[in-house]
Chains A and B, each alone.
Chain A
């Protein structure tokens, strides 16, 4: 509904329009720049509210992929992130089930709602990654899956009679779990990230961070950052996609200080100081997951969900997908999907 206050004056300013080059106009248009002052409230800013209502009605899609060797706590972390039993933990598997011989891709879709906002969340698990003796090219099935989703989207987009809303199964975010060895990245980590940082947004995460002290943590993070830089691996948020100075400073801070996030996941609650918190109970204390002094889970959660979720989707759509599309169309179908 409209605000119903047409009389209130809002900050209104007129700015000159720089004539933009228009693509092939039928009637030659010459944008005229005018310079005048608004005399009162028009109501243009209500478009924000209109837009918000529309998006709430249509809902959102979000597809997150978790990659890492088994036992690093991937499923636990995802459950902690979305505060629900999103993934079935590997430890609850039947004892007879062996580690899969190949890299499998399991995508499970859920519908969650919060504050009137409906989200279709898809968690893509990759059991078997890095678990073999010989792990050569184990990233290939993952890369194939990601490209397949782009292909699906492209096919829909190219249709003559298109759906109103093309179902989006593209991977928006890939959490890569780094083993907390304390030394440096493993060759497998580097290879995977090198290949995949070009097709998907990768967010490296240091798993089971409760095995490192604060000094060890910060040293490890520095070393990891350096190694990633030396190897030319651009993880999300990528430097080249910073839109303006504000973004750049904000993202620089995250890139150079916080990332990779050292996280601890848990879905069990304990009583600490009269409050119930998610944590891990050990003989020497309770590690609080959402306590910033203990680990950086809260930072990761805020980063991925509360501030950069939409941006993750947009970078995927505007950049990774467009790159795939351009390549696909240029090669004229040289690469089979």
Chain B
């Protein structure tokens, strides 16, 4: 940047920079126009589209897919899972939804087979691994030298809906263990599924039991933000109803003179969007219409930062004190690069060895095949020889027969000609005798 040389030394500009510490508050004497800034920002985001990723954790058959269908007014195609899954696996599906000029890239992650195994010790593990993997992918992108964060498709989980079975008693131990493992990694919103199986008075007791269990076990669920006045009130009122008791349905039933989403029973109709019947409307309000952006922000500024911090510390990076600041950047990246190169080399070695092994195996296989082929060829040759000999023998036989036949034929012909001659001579003799008798 600055070419240092003898000539330059004569003309070195003294570099003086000054910045005021305290900011001055200014009053404007007219309309400047930067109040359009939020609009400018929002317009940019709108053209890019938004990402939102929901993770649904709950037992098979508890109603996760139905609830998603109900929340987003669509039929996300999927076959219901069986109960025979050997372990928990995560199935992610992405969709693009559009409403007015807003494009949303929605990803719904399902936990297939959760709660079905006999031994559920490791049930939480695939879920944690999935969440970490998304953080890892983002971290990798962030650490790249040439990166494109602004066009990165964010796959980090923004909200985790935890489906609690409507037993009416308390949380299952699986629920507590899983939620405890997830609470520092993702925003957990607990909900009671299939809430139409619980009566109102039991529901109230159930909810308080669940909340007190969560508190006593130190599970940190997502707190609806109350710092901004416009949403503080509604968030506060809604928090009281946690966990939301929801009912999902994509079937429509005629109620009065309108069609509404509901479940029809012989004894009545449970309306999904009726707040007296269940908390579905509250869930939708909180999850989508009020706090979607906050969920995304919390994921990025809290959960992701925590993951990043732990991961970097694990890799051996440290924030150095101001004295050695010039080194930290270079060293850390040099260290990371060396580590990365080392890993690459190791992988290369492994691959090479595997390749060599594979080649050997293939060679052996081929040799085997070759031997087999040779044998086959030999066998074929032999059979061929045998057949040939047989044919030749037969030929000889045939030739013999033919020659015999020829001989016989010749002999017969000879005999015939002899008899003919004899006959002819006899007739001649007879003729001569006849002629002689005439004279």
Cβ proximity bits A25-59 to B, threshold 8 Å, 1 near / 0 not? 11101011110111111111111101111111100
Identify the closest chain A residue to B149 (Cβ). Answer: A318
User: Quick check: which of B168-176, B284-292, B351-359 contacts chain A, the rest being far away?
Assistant: B284-292
User: Quick check: which of A11-19, A177-185, A221-229 contacts chain B, the rest being far away?
Assistant: A11-19
Give Cα A244 to B46, complex, Å: 14
Contact B35 A137 (CB under 8 A): no
Contact B17 A120 (CB under 8 A): no
Say yes or no: is A231 at the interface (Cβ < 8 Å to chain B): no
Contact A2 B285 (CB under 8 A): yes
User: Quick check: which of B263-271, B305-313, B384-392 contacts chain A, the rest being far away?
Assistant: B305-313
Say yes or no: is A154 at the interface (Cβ < 8 Å to chain B): yes
Contact A318 B293 (CB under 8 A): no
Contact B319 A161 (CB under 8 A): yes
Contact A34 B90 (CB under 8 A): no
Cβ proximity bits B93-129 to A, threshold 8 Å, 1 near / 0 not? 1111111111111010000000000000000001001
**Closest beta carbon of chain B to A301's beta carbon, Å:** 7
Identify the closest chain A residue to B273 (Cβ). Answer: A6
Contact A314 B230 (CB under 8 A): no
Identify the closest chain A residue to B311 (Cβ). Answer: A160
Give Cα A121 to B230, complex, Å: 27
Select which of A11, A56, A57, A310 is within 8 A of B99 by beta carbon.
A11
Say yes or no: is B376 at the interface (Cβ < 8 Å to chain A): no
Give Cα A114 to B76, complex, Å: 45
Identify the closest chain A residue to B250 (Cβ). Answer: A39
Contact B77 A47 (CB under 8 A): no
Centre residue among B47, B74, B234, B319 by max chain A CB count within 10 A: B74
Contact A36 B75 (CB under 8 A): yes
Give Cα A110 to B105, complex, Å: 39
**Closest beta carbon of chain B to A187's beta carbon, Å:** 17
**Chain B stretch 355-379: residues in CB contact (< 8 A) with chain A:** none
Identify the closest chain A residue to B44 (Cβ). Answer: A310
Say yes or no: is B421 at the interface (Cβ < 8 Å to chain A): no
Give Cα A20 to B151, complex, Å: 12
Known: A109-B24, A158-B329. Contact between A26 and B100, CB under 8 A?
no
Select which of B23, B94, B136, B291 is within 8 A of A110 by beta carbon.
B23
Contact B24 A54 (CB under 8 A): no
Say yes or no: is A89 at the interface (Cβ < 8 Å to chain B): no
Select which of B17, B71, B291 is within 8 A of A50 by beta carbon.
B291
Contact A112 B28 (CB under 8 A): yes
Say yes or no: is A219 at the interface (Cβ < 8 Å to chain B): no
Say yes or no: is A155 at the interface (Cβ < 8 Å to chain B): yes
Provide the residues of chain A in CB contact with B155, threshold 8 Å.
22, 25, 29
Centre residue among B23, B26, B47, B325 by max chain A CB count within 10 A: B26
Identify the closest chain A residue to B101 (Cβ). Answer: A45
Give Cα A148 to B1, complex, Å: 13
**Closest beta carbon of chain A to B223's beta carbon, Å:** 16
9 CB-based A-B contacts, threshold 8 Å: A23-B140, A38-B97, A44-B99, A46-B288, A50-B292, A55-B42, A110-B25, A117-B37, A305-B34
Known contacts A41-B99, A51-B38, A105-B15; can you find 9 more A-B pairs with CB under 8 A? Answer: A13-B98, A24-B140, A42-B99, A44-B99, A47-B292, A114-B31, A117-B34, A140-B2, A307-B36
A-side residues, CB < 8 A to B, are 1-3, 6, 10-17, 19-20, 22-27, 29, 31-34, 36-48, 50-57, 60, 62, 81-86, 100-112, 114-117, 119-121, 134, 136-138, 140-141, 143-145, 147-148, 154-155, 158-162, 164, 243-244, 301-302, 305-311, 314, 318, 322, 325-326, 328-330, 332-333, 335-337
